Amino acid sequence: MTFHIMIIPTLNCPGSCKYCWGSENTTEIMDIELIDNIINWLEDFKDDKVHFTFHGGEPLLAGYDFYKKALKKLSHIKNFEGFSLQSNLWLLDNNLIDLFKDYNVNISTSIDGPKEINDYQRGKSYFDKTMTKYELAKQKGLNINFVLTITKYSKKYSDEIYKFFRDNQMNLKIHAALPSLRGDNADLWALNPKDYGELLVEWLDKYLYDLDKFNIVDLDHICKSTLRRRGTLCTFANCIGTTLAIGADGSIYPCYRFVGIDDYILGNVKNKPSLKQLKESKAWKKLEEFQEFVDKNCEKCKYTKYCQGGCPYNGLVTYQTSKAVDPQCEAYKIIFNEVSKRANKEFAKNAFRINKPKKEEDPFSILDLMMK
C-alpha cells in the first residue's frame, strides 16, 4: 500500500483563475528545514511506501534551490516510492526540467481547453504561458500530464474541449468546478452534478473511438473500479489516513484541499505526532463522521463499494456538515450505471469472445477500457 504525502510549499499563486478555491495572497514559502521535520516525523510514523506530491498554490515559487535539496533529502527515506508535482509551469526553466528528469518527477499542469475557453476562466495569457513551458518540457523529454476543470461555463464547449485534448494527444484528469470552504467566488462556477454526469457519458462515447490516442484518467479508473468492485481513484476510495498534506508552516491536513483552513489541522510535523494523536483531533473526527454517514446512508446503493461516497472535501464544502455525501453523487451514479450497463451487455454477448482486428471506424469495447 502507498502512503501519499502532499507537500504544499506555499498557497501563493501568480495566476488569477476565476473559480480557484485553493490559493491565497500570501508570501509564506516553506523553509527547506521543514523537509527535515517531515523526514524525522515519517521515520516512526508509517512503514508503507511513500509517494510525495508537491502542490499549491504554485509550488514552483519555492524555487530551484528548494527542490534541489528537498528531492535529494526525500528520495533517501526508507520506503521512498516517487515524486509528483502539480504546477501552472510558468516558472519552469531548463534547470528545473533537468532536475525533475533526474528524479523522475511526474508533472501535471492545468489547462481548460482551447485558448479562448481557458483564458476566459483562468485569466489573460494563462494559456500561452503554460503551453510555452509545456513545449519546452516536451522538447527536453519531460512528460507533462494535464488537469481539466469543467465549469458551468465551459460545459457548453464540451466538443471543442474534448477535441483539443484528443488532437494534441494530451493525457488528462477531469475535475468538476467546486464550491469553496474559503467563502470566495468559486461557487459561481460550480458544475451541476447532472451536467457533469452527462458530460462523462458523452465523453465515454467519444473515448471508445480514441483509446489509442490519449488517456482520460477518470474514465479509465471508473471502468476499472466497476470491474474490480473497488475504487481505484482517490475520489472513489477511503483516503482517510492514506493521504496527508503538509502546509508551509508544518501543519498537517487530510488533503491539499484543506490546507490553510484551521478547522482541518490534524497536527504539526514539528511535533512528530503519531497516527493515534492525529486521530484524536477534531478534524479527523469530522472525517470519520463523514465515513460513518456514508456507510449508513449509502448502504443500499449498488455503487457504494467502489464509490465510497465520493470525496469528503466535496461533501463538507457543499453542505457544511460531515453528514453528507459528495454532491457529485448523482454524476457518479450516472457514469457508473452507464459503464455497468454496457459491460454487462458486452459480457453477455461476448462471453467467449475471440479478439479480432479492430476496424478503424469501430469503437473499442467497454471491456477493452476496463482492462486498459
pLDDT tens figures, 272-308: 999 999 999 999 998 898 888 888 888 899 888 888 8
More confident of the two residues 270 and 353: 270
Give the integer Cα–Cα distance in Å for 370 and 119: 34
Rounded average pLDDT over 78-83: 95
For residue 235, pLDDT over 60 is answered with yes
What pLDDT, on the 0 to 100 scale, is given for residue 351?
54
What pLDDT, on the 0 to 100 scale, is given for residue 45?
85
pLDDT tens figures, 304-341: 888 888 888 888 877 777 777 888 899 999 999 999 99
What pLDDT, on the 0 to 100 scale, is given for residue 339?
94
For residue 24, pLDDT over 80 is answered with no
Give the integer Cα–Cα distance in Å for 176 and 59: 22
pLDDT tens figures, 219-233: 999 999 988 888 888
Give the integer Cα–Cα distance in Å for 207 and 366: 10
User: Grid coordinates representing 29?
Assistant: 514559502
For residue 350, pLDDT over 80 is answered with no
Beta bridge partners of 176: 150
User: Grid coordinates representing 187?
Assistant: 461557487
What pLDDT, on the 0 to 100 scale, is given for residue 195?
95
Confidence of residue 126 (pLDDT cuts 50, 70, 90): very high
Rounded average pLDDT over 343-358: 69
What pLDDT, on the 0 to 100 scale, is given for residue 181?
59
What pLDDT, on the 0 to 100 scale, is given for residue 309?
86
What pLDDT, on the 0 to 100 scale, is given for residue 73?
98
What pLDDT, on the 0 to 100 scale, is given for residue 186?
55
Give the integer Cα–Cα distance in Å for 340 and 250: 43
What pLDDT, on the 0 to 100 scale, is given for residue 311?
87
Rounded average pLDDT over 119-144: 97
Does the pTM exceed 0.85? Answer: yes
Confidence of residue 170 (pLDDT cuts 50, 70, 90): very high
User: Grid coordinates representing 214?
Assistant: 490519449
Rounded average pLDDT over 349-371: 73
What pLDDT, on the 0 to 100 scale, is given for residue 2?
86
Instruction: Report DSSP letters for 55-86, one per residue.
Output: -SS-GGGG-HHHHHHHHHHHTTSTTEEEEEEE
What pLDDT, on the 0 to 100 scale, is given for residue 144?
97
Q: Which long-range contacts (CB under 8 A, 24 or more apart) does 121-129 make?
A: 121/17, 121/18, 121/19, 121/149, 121/151, 121/153, 121/154, 121/189, 122/15, 122/16, 122/17, 122/18, 123/15, 123/16, 123/17, 123/18, 126/15, 126/17, 126/88, 129/88, 129/89, 129/90
Report the chain's mean pLDDT, rounded to a whole number. Answer: 91
What pLDDT, on the 0 to 100 scale, is given for residue 26?
72
User: Grid coordinates representing 216?
Assistant: 482520460
83 and 52 Cβ atoms separated by less than 8 Å:
yes
Question: Residue 251 — φ and ψ, nearest 5°?
Answer: -65, 140
Identify the three-state secondary structure at position 206: helix
